[in-house]
Structure 1
Amino acid sequence: MSGFLKGAANAPNRLLTSRDEGRVMFLGVAASDKIIGYVIDRDNPISSVIARLIDTNSAGVFTEIFIGETNLRELLLKLAEIYRKGWIDSKRLNSNGNAVPCNAPNCGGYTLEAELGVTPNGYPLPDYLDFEIKQYGVNNFESMKPLSPLTLMTPEPTGGYYVDMGVEAFVRKYGYTDKMGRPDRLNFGGIHTIGKRTDITGLTLNLKGYNSVKGNFDPDNGGIVLEDDQGRIAALWNFSSLMEHWTIKHARAGYIPSMARTELAKQYSYGPIISLGLGTDFKLFLDAIAVGHIYYDPGIKVENISSDHPKTKRRSQFRIRISSLYTLYRSWQEYNLAVL
Structure 2
Amino acid sequence: MIETLSGLVALMKSYGATRFYAKKLAPNDNSKNQVYLGGDFSVLNIIPHQGIYTDNTVSSGSVRNRAKADVSFSWVNQNGLHNAPNAQLILYPKYPEVRMSGFLKGAKYAPSDIMAVRDEGRVLFIGVTPDGQILGYAAGPDSSLAKEVYAKNDLKQIGVFLEIPPESGIKDTRKLLLDKLAEICSKHWIMSKKLDSGGFSKPYKARNGGGYTLEAELGITPNGYSDPDYLGWEIKQYAVSDFIAYRPKGVVTLMTPEPTSGLYKNSGVEQFLHRYGYPDKHGKADRVNFGGIYSCEKDFHADTGLKLALQGYDPSSEKITDMTGGIVLLSRENEIAAKWDFIHLMEHWTRKHAQAAYIPSIFRTPPPEYAYGPRILLCEQTDFSLFLKAVANCTVYYDPAVKMEKASSGNPATKRRSQFRVRYNELVHMYYRHEYVELPIE
Q: Which TM bucket (shorter chain)? A: 0.7 to 0.9
Q: What is the match of residue 270 of structure 2?
A: 168
Higher helix share: 1
**Aligned residue in 2 for 1:85:** 187
In structure 2, the residue corresponding to 1:15 is in which secondary structure? coil
Partners in 2 of 1:165 and 1:270 — Cα distance?
A: 42
Using the TM superposition, give the Cα deviation of residue 180 of structure 1 relative to its aligned residue in structure 2, in angstroms: 0.7
Which residue among 164, 183, 186 is the counterpart of 2:285?
183
Q: CA deviation at 1:285?
A: 0.4
How much has 1:92 moved relative to structure 2? 4.0
Question: In 1, distance between residues paired with 2:207 and 2:362?
Answer: 13
The 1:29/1:118 distance shift into structure 2, 3 A limit, reads farther
Query: Does the 8 Å contact 1:15/1:40 carry over to 2?
Result: no
Q: Is the 8 A contact 1:274 1:336 kept in 2?
A: yes
- Give 1:104 shift: 4.8
2:154 & 2:324 partners in 1: Cα distance? 33
- Give the counterpart of 2:210 among 108, 131, 135: 108
Counterpart check, 1:244 vs 2:314: no
Shift of 1:296: 0.6
Greater length-normalized contact order (CA 8 Å, ≥ 6 residues apart): 1
- Matched residue, 1:155: 257
Partner of 2:357: 254
Q: In angstroms, what is the RMSD of aligned CA positions?
A: 3.2
Contact preservation (8 Å) 1:91, 1:102? yes
Once residues 184 and 250 of structure 2 are traced to their aligned partners in structure 1, the CA distance between those partners, rounded to angstroms, is 23
Q: Does the Cα contact within 8 Å between 1:261 and 1:268 map onto a contact in 2?
A: yes
Secondary structure of 1:305's counterpart equals coil
Which of residues 87, 90, 110 is equivalent to 1:15?
110
Map of 1:216 onto structure 2: 319
Cα drift, residue 94 of structure 1: 4.7
What's the CA shift for 1:123? Answer: 2.3
After superposition, the Cα gap between the structure-2 partners of 1:118 and 1:183, relative to the gap in structure 1 and judged at 3 Å, is closer
Count of residue correspondences? 330
* Contact residue 15 and residue 23 of structure 1 kept, 8 A: no
Bigger share in strand? 2
Structure 1 residues 175 and 4: alpha-carbon distance in aligned structure 2, compared to 1, 3 A threshold:
same
For residues 67 and 179 of structure 1, do their structure 2 counterparts lie closer, same or farther at Cα, with a shift above 3 Å needed?
farther
* CA-CA distance at 1:95 after TM superposition: 4.9
Write the deviation string for residues 26-70 of structure 1: whole angstroms up to 9, x where unpaired: 35233xx4736343334434765699544328xxxxx69596994
* Deviation per residue, 1:164-192 (Å, 9 max, x gap): 22211111111111111111121111000
The question of whether the paired residues in 2 share the 8 Å contact of 1:24 and 1:47 is answered with no
Partner amino acid, structure 1, of 2:128:
G
Does structure 2 conserve the Cα–Cα contact (< 8 Å) formed by 1:87 and 1:269?
yes
Whether contact under 8 Å (1:186, 1:302) holds in the other structure is yes
Q: Which deviations, in whole Å up to 9, do the C-alpha atoms of 1:275-325 show, x marking residues without a partner? A: 111211100001111111111111111222222222222221111111211
**Correspondence for 2:429:** 327
Residues 1:29 and 2:149 aligned together: no
Where does structure 2 lack aligned partners over 5 or more consecutive residues?
Answer: 1-70, 83-107
Mark the CA change 1:76 to 1:181 in structure 2 (over 3 Å): closer, same or farther: same
Farther off after superposition, 308-317 or 291-300: 308-317
Distance between the aligned counterparts of 1:222 and 1:64, measured in 2?
Answer: 33
Do residues 204 (structure 1) and 307 (structure 2) align? yes
Q: Which moved more, 1:132-141 or 1:12-21?
A: 12-21
What is the identity, as a one-letter code, of the residue corresponding to 1:40? A
Aligned equivalents of 1:205, 1:303: Cα separation in 2: 25
Report if the CA contact (8 A) 2:377-2:437 is conserved. Answer: yes
Which stretch of the first structure deviates more once superposed, 84-93 or 266-275? 84-93
Structure 1 residues 117-126 or 42-51, which shifts more?
42-51
Q: How does 1:124-143 map to 2 (within 5 A)?
A: 124-143=226-245
1:228 is aligned to 2:324: no
Corresponding position: 1:39 with 2:142: no
2:348 partner amino acid? H
Distance 1:185 1:16, change over 3 A: farther
Deviation at 1:223, TM superposition (A): 0.2
- TM-score, with length taken from structure 2: 0.66
TM-score by length of 1: 0.84
Deviation string 1:244-287 (CA, Å, 9 cap, x unpaired) is 01001101111100112233x43221112221112111000011
For the residues of structure 2 that align with 1:195 and 1:289, how far apart are their CA atoms?
Answer: 10
Task: Quote the offset at 1:71 in angstroms.
Answer: 3.1
Alignment correspondent of 1:60: none
Matches of 1:65 and 1:222, distance apart in 2: 34
Query: Which amino acid is 2:137 matched to?
Result: V
Contact preservation (8 Å) 1:40, 1:47? no
One-letter amino acid of the structure 1 residue matched with residue 401 of structure 2: G
Q: Does the residue aligned with 1:288 lie in a helix, a strand or coil? A: helix
Moved more, 279-288 or 112-121: 112-121
Structure 1 residue aligned with 2:392: 290
Residue type matched to 1:123 in 2?
A: Y
Partner amino acid, structure 1, of 2:80: N
After superposition, the C-alpha distances for 1:9-28 in whole angstroms (9 at most, x for unaligned) are: 53453325554354636352
Q: Percent identity over the alignment?
A: 44
